[in-house]
Chain A
Amino acid sequence: MRPNFFHHLHPPTIPAQQSRWRYTLGAGGTAVFLLFVLAITGMLEMFYYTPTPEQAALSVQTISYHVPLGGLVRNTHYWSAQLLMIVMAAHLIRVVMTGAYRSPRRFNYLLGLVLFVAVVLLNFTGYILRWDQGIQWALVVGTNLLKTIPVAGDALYVMLIGGSQPGPATLIRFYAWHIFGLGLLVVILTGWHIFRVRRDGGIAVPPPRLREDDARITRFELVQREVLAMILITAILFILAIFFPAPIDAPIEQLTTMANDASAPWFFLWVQQMLKWGDPFVWGIVVPLVVMLILALIPYVLPQAQDAELGRWFPKSNRLARLVLIGISLLVIVLTLLALLPGS
């Protein structure tokens, strides 16, 4: 048989030590599987979702409560998206904590970061598509943040929302970005990212002469593990989808009237917390961009893991990079917890 993309991603054998769950966490593969689930459930949602301000929230309710199995489809889409954020974060943490991002994998690390940002934006645009009273202030705040950018802010605002205030044009734009603009970007980058994994020499391992354990597993065993992971993830998704339905509220009547919920979506709570401190441009735009920049620079400016220490957790030689990532993670977690505190 002629080798195809499947064979490119599944070499005849791979090192046994580095293909253990406890090393990879299975995070990259799980992320790809979740993207696949998101594409399928998202396509099914498109058959009912109506991207107009009057109909959007009602059509989401139709999918959730009237369409047979519609609730399962929507809740699975919702939970896959939330799990994907967590799995991608776990993947990033694993790659930094094992030092696997070092040359020649630096470029693929950057591709992964861009994918992470694209998925955050997909999650945010998907959240806005509910167009109910739960998302109202996130929409107002998120778009007004753009206006605070010096010089280009006002123009960027109009280009994103298509008017002088959020309205029908905004919803259709977010719909287009969510379904095609960002979706296409993620599909292309994911293909490139997983192509580069093999191209850069597969999973990171020490060079042959420094390897302690030469055992390898076959392509067949790899596929077995992948199938096992997919079954487990599917079970988790179904349990979440059945017992914890995705939120939906009454439609937005008027964008100026009060809504009950003023909290950001969970993955932006840390930004919302910082916005309470003052200047929105600094805390809402500059600081998140600086965090992304620091993450992007990790493989380029900080000491990298040495050959002999590749393929295992916590190599001594990249301690500084690990500390930087721990610092950023703690910052995000503490800010999120602060935002969740009642009365904050």
Chain B
Amino acid sequence: MPELDRRDFLKQATRALLSISGLLGLGGLARFFYFQTEPPSQSVFDLGPATAYAVGTRTLLPDVPAVLIHNENGFSALSLVCTHLGCTVESEASELVCPCHGSLFDEQGNVVRGPASKPLPTLQIETTAEGNLQLFLT
């Protein structure tokens, strides 16, 4: 077993203690910054009576942001948050284009051109007992 004199031992012990304190401090700092003062953002949107949206229409819901589609198969909703880095895509002719990095999606949300690699997600729509539409973000 190699000899470790008192001076080296104390030096290494000091280093170890300082490193542990530093790591504990960083951990504490991370916990401090991780606290969230705001309530989680809205995840359910009330869209009013379903009868307000005629068959064959596409309605822009800027607050979500999403587009509500009503066709023969019923109601569906397409998220307008670009799957690349989260900008809101804009309708351009029959396509959806992201202003930030130019991703292009078709009407169904499929990727036509990158950089986005995932299609725009479909959002869940439910009709309440009173006949109101509700949109769920998750």
A residues near B (Cβ < 8 Å) are 137, 140-141, 144-145, 155, 158-160, 162-165, 167-169, 254, 256-258, 262, 272, 275-280, 284
Name the contact of A141 in the complex, choosing from B30, B36, B40, B85 (C-beta under 8 A).
B85
* A141 contacts B100, C-beta separation under 8 Å: yes
Known contacts being A162-B36, A163-B37, is A144 close to B85, with CB within 8 Å? yes
Cβ < 8 Å to A, chain B residues 66-118:
81, 84-88, 90, 99-102, 114-115, 117
B residues near A (Cβ < 8 Å) are 30, 33-38, 40-41, 62-65, 81, 84-88, 90, 99-102, 114-115, 117
How far apart sit A280 and B114, CA to CA, in the bound complex (Å)?
A: 11
Inside 8 A of B64's CB, which chain A residues have their CB?
256
Inside 8 A of A159's CB, which chain B residues have their CB?
30, 33-34
State the Cβ distance, B2 to closest chain A Cβ, in Å: 32
Name the contact of A164 in the complex, choosing from B41, B85, B86, B88 (C-beta under 8 A).
B41
Inside 8 A of B84's CB, which chain A residues have their CB?
275, 280
Inside 8 A of A164's CB, which chain B residues have their CB?
36, 38, 40-41
Known contacts being A257-B65, A262-B99, A275-B101, is A141 close to B86, with CB within 8 Å? yes
Closest to A145 in B: B85
How far apart sit A88 and B82, CA to CA, in the bound complex (Å)?
A: 35
* B102 contacts A276, C-beta separation under 8 Å: yes
* B34 contacts A275, C-beta separation under 8 Å: no
Known contacts being A272-B100, A277-B115, is A256 close to B38, with CB within 8 Å? no
State the Cβ distance, B113 to closest chain A Cβ, in Å: 10
Known contacts being A140-B87, A141-B100, is A169 close to B115, with CB within 8 Å? no
Beyond contacts A162-B35, A162-B37, A262-B87: 13 other A-B pairs, Cβ-Cβ < 8 A, are A137-B100, A140-B87, A141-B85, A141-B86, A158-B33, A163-B38, A163-B40, A164-B41, A169-B36, A169-B38, A254-B63, A279-B115, A279-B117
Top 4 nearest A-B pairs (CB, nearest first) are A262-B99, A159-B33, A163-B38, A256-B65
Inside 8 A of A167's CB, which chain B residues have their CB?
38, 41
